[in-house]
A and B are shown apart, each in its own frame.
Chain A
């Protein structure tokens, strides 16, 4: 094995390391849209059920969607489940699993006066 081969192997190993350790980025949650892996929803919190850790989210038109929140759900704009209240604007990315809509990420939108 000559130096050329060793360099090629090193380069290949480096690339493997880089691509295998790329962290989960914002790309995982497509901006304001669904993808084959998850469904995007934006709307108003219409109900908060503390007992079963669920919120219902009503899109601008149509019925509310019940969303389950678990410890793996990424939350932005609120510290924890207790931060959710009715009439808040939220963006939700969720996945249908075992008959539940499991929230992957929820962003509580800022309440700006403008």
Chain B
């Protein structure tokens, strides 16, 4: 019962996001924060395990990257996947429940699209081990790294801004 309520709330939030008129979306800008910048280095730290939330997070990554580019900046981005999110970036229908399958397919499409845009999609090998996922089962667009936390440290040291998506 709680699960149904959660899904209803999530769907409402998602629909609400899309219900915002385009005019309203472009009404607000980030001029002050982006002033003087030519490039944005972003590390999206994705660990959310709920399939509905993860699908929404993918759309928010899309929107964020798109809006930064529309503001005239070049985006250099990494999407770091760890935790429960790892199950959804594998090939085929494996590692998820039947009711999660629709969202898994959407997430797979997002990953392919992000890779096409030149974003690097990294998967933590420790998470794969914890969730008993064969590293060969990850989507071909995904690069498996030894330790997602080290990636976080490294990219931050290189000036990437971390956007938490948990």
Residues in chain A within 8 A of chain B (CB atoms): 42, 44, 46, 58, 60-61, 86-87, 89, 109, 111-114
Contacts and interface: CB of A to CB of B under 8 A. Distances in A.
A109 B92 CA distance: 24
Given A58-B97, A111-B84, A87 B49 contact: yes
Contacts, number: 40
Interface residues of B, number: 24
Contacts of B95: 44, 60
Interface in B42-60: 47, 49
**B contacts with A: majority SS:** loop
A43 to B, nearest CB: 9
B127 interface: yes
Contact of B83 (A44, A46, A61, A112): A112
Interface string B81-117: 0111000000010111110000000000000000000
A60 B97 contact: no
A81 B92 CA distance: 32
Nearest to A59: B94
Given A42-B132, A60-B132, A89-B131, A114 B83 contact: yes
A67 to B, nearest CB: 16
Nearest to A46: B97
A114 B98 contact: no
22 contacts: A44-B95, A44-B97, A46-B97, A46-B98, A60-B94, A60-B95, A60-B133, A60-B137, A61-B92, A86-B97, A87-B49, A89-B131, A111-B83, A111-B84, A113-B47, A113-B82, A113-B83, A113-B166, A114-B83, A114-B124, A114-B126, A114-B148
Interface of B: 3, 47, 49, 82-84, 92, 94-98, 124, 126-127, 130-133, 137, 147-149, 166
A114 B130 contact: yes
Nearest to B90: A60
